[in-house]
Amino acid sequence: LFCDGFVYILGHDFDGEHYLYRISEDGSKQEQYMRLYKKELTQTGSEGQSMRYTTPEICIHKGYVYFIIPRETVPTIYRMQLGSENVEKVFELKTERPNLYRMLPYGDFIFFQAGIFSEDYLDVDGGIFAYNVTNGEIKLVKSEAISAYKVVGNSLYYAKSDGVYRFAMDGTLDERIVEYEEYPIFSADEKYIYIEGDNNIIIYDINGDYILTPQLSDNLEIIDTYFGDSKYIFAKGY
């Protein structure tokens, strides 16, 4: 994560203490910045031989770090002011088979998804919520939106099993704008929608009209897409 001239990195020690480290933009300063929480690590084999670690979900927004600790009995969104020691609970999901995931900071809000797994854990009954960082209010923004999503201006773009949909925050619009044969992995900005295809990226305009599929050099194939912003898309390939 990059914020206010620093790169922030998660790390932990062998006692399960999780920290936020930070590195200055030019690399000249590196420090263990703040402690987040302690989570026991699962050890297998002989002592010190291997440790199982699950990465917490985290975001930084308006002077606070927000995080979700993996595999908690009651999934919770926590927040801490950067550089502080005080931990606040933003949201708790107290239910059977809970699922709390995919935080996205935007404007005065932290968006996130929450829901309940089906008994076979193959489906989720849930939606997208918004936490107002200025007054602490939490509200449901869009029900039945359980996959990838992106907020652009006053519109929410979200994935369903048949494509990408656009939902107006005032509730006046909810329509499919890109047809796709499965839940797409996608991103969006003020001009374009980017869908991770089969070893490539498919680009549409913000209204869902097809633009192009970039031609990759030689035999290069994309295996993971990290997306980015309106200027650059980052991906891993071979």
Q: Each residue of 12-27: pLDDT tens digit? A: 888 889 999 999 999 9
Mean pLDDT of 112-140: 95
Given this model, what pLDDT does residue 238 score? 86
Given this model, what pLDDT does residue 16 score? 87
User: Is pLDDT at 151 greater than 80 in this prediction?
Assistant: yes
Given this model, what pLDDT does residue 49 score? 52
Mean pLDDT of 172-183: 94
Mean pLDDT of 133-138: 96
Return the structure tokens found at 64.
Answer: 């606070």
Mean pLDDT of 148-172: 94
State pLDDT tens for residues 178-218.
999 899 999 999 999 999 988 889 999 999 999 999 888 77
Given this model, what pLDDT does residue 192 score? 94
